[in-house]
Amino acid sequence: MLTVIQANSQAVPAADRGLAYGDGLFETIRMSGQKALLRQHHLRRMASDAARLGIPADVDDLDRELTRAARRLGPPDDNHSWILKLILTRGNGGRGYRPPQNPEPHLIASSATLPPLPGPEGVVARCSSFPLTVNPKLAGIKTLNRLQQVMASREFTGAEWELIMKDGADHLVEGTRTNLIARLGDCWVTPPASSVAVAGVMRQYVMERLVLAGETVLERPLPADLAAREDLRGFYLLNSVFGVVAVRSFEGADLPVDGTLATICGPIETLE
């Protein structure tokens, strides 16, 4: 049973384990009126990651609360784009870190306006100096433990749209708020799900679309010297709010911008 908290009008109990320990996860969902883009992808990810954390949240409960939140927070205009954020925490209680035996989760719903969207000409990205460390047992889960991304984001200067985080082996792992995919020769290469802090729903969607289109997708580490690779045909940032964002400049080097991926995926407004 979920206790729902309306973040736009209500406060959160100070005893919430989401605040105390980051004991929970969240989804940031692009909305078009009452409609959630990539709805099933978001719900499936949320339910399966909650299960990994041992937070009891039925996909049907989440589905129902998503509909309610959309109705309550969304504009009547069907074409108006906005952001719905759902935070799921393990609720209150427990003895220190040790969770209660029967947690009563909180679902905290809030709305935000859509940020400016980059155009098809692409964006500027560079590497963050803040390293990314991923616990293998938490890999891919969009938990509330996001201090690494916060610290990396402090390096934004205004000149770049995204900062890419590297692991200890100097591989490109992900952006502060995006997953990565590169077109190298005839293959699409994205860092393995087991290596990323957040396995985004847009990453999942793009991989599905590429496979459906008969393309070859490899989950492999991306080298830091990507821009120097002669077979590089495109480098993209993936995020369920922004869709597919081409990188036109990385670490000061101009990159080829290819519309293939955007064509295969279709306009973000149409994603079911």
Of 240, 256, 202, give the one whose Cα is nearest residue 85.
Answer: 240
Report CA Rg, the chain.
19
Largest pairwise CA distance in the chain: 55
For residues 146 and 269, is the Cβ–Cβ distance under 8 A?
no
For residues 138 and 154, is the Cβ–Cβ distance under 8 A?
no
- For position 121 contacting a copy of itself by CB under 8 A, the verdict is no
- For position 131 contacting a copy of itself by CB under 8 A, the verdict is yes
One residue of 47, 70, 86, 134 binding a copy of itself per CB under 8 A? 134
DSSP letter at 241 equals: T
Q: Which stretch binds a copy of itself (CB under 8 A): 10-18, 203-211, 218-226, 259-267?
A: 10-18
Q: How far is the CB of 129 from a copy of itself (least distance, A)?
A: 9
- For position 151 contacting a copy of itself by CB under 8 A, the verdict is yes
- For position 207 contacting a copy of itself by CB under 8 A, the verdict is no
- For position 130 contacting a copy of itself by CB under 8 A, the verdict is yes
Q: How buried is residue 105: exposed, middle or buried, by Cβ count under 10 Å (0-12/13-18/19+)?
A: buried
One residue of 70, 84, 123, 144 binding a copy of itself per CB under 8 A? 144
Rounded to whole angstroms, the Cα distance separating 118 from 239 reads 12
One residue of 1, 11, 159, 212 binding a copy of itself per CB under 8 A? 11
Handedness of CA 220, 221, 226, 229 (dihedral sign): negative
For a copy of itself, give the closer residue by CB, 160 or 210.
Answer: 160
The position carrying tokens 């927070």 is 73
For a copy of itself, give the closer residue by CB, 149 or 249.
Answer: 149
Restricted to residues 25-84, the positions that interact with a copy of itself (CB under 8 A) are 26, 53-54
For a copy of itself, give the closer residue by CB, 60 or 170.
Answer: 170
Q: How many CA atoms lie within 13 A of 93 on its CB side?
A: 10
- For position 176 contacting a copy of itself by CB under 8 A, the verdict is yes
Q: Which residues bind a copy of itself (CB under 8 A)?
A: 5, 7-8, 10-23, 26, 53-54, 87, 89-90, 95-99, 108, 110, 115, 130-138, 143-154, 156, 176-177
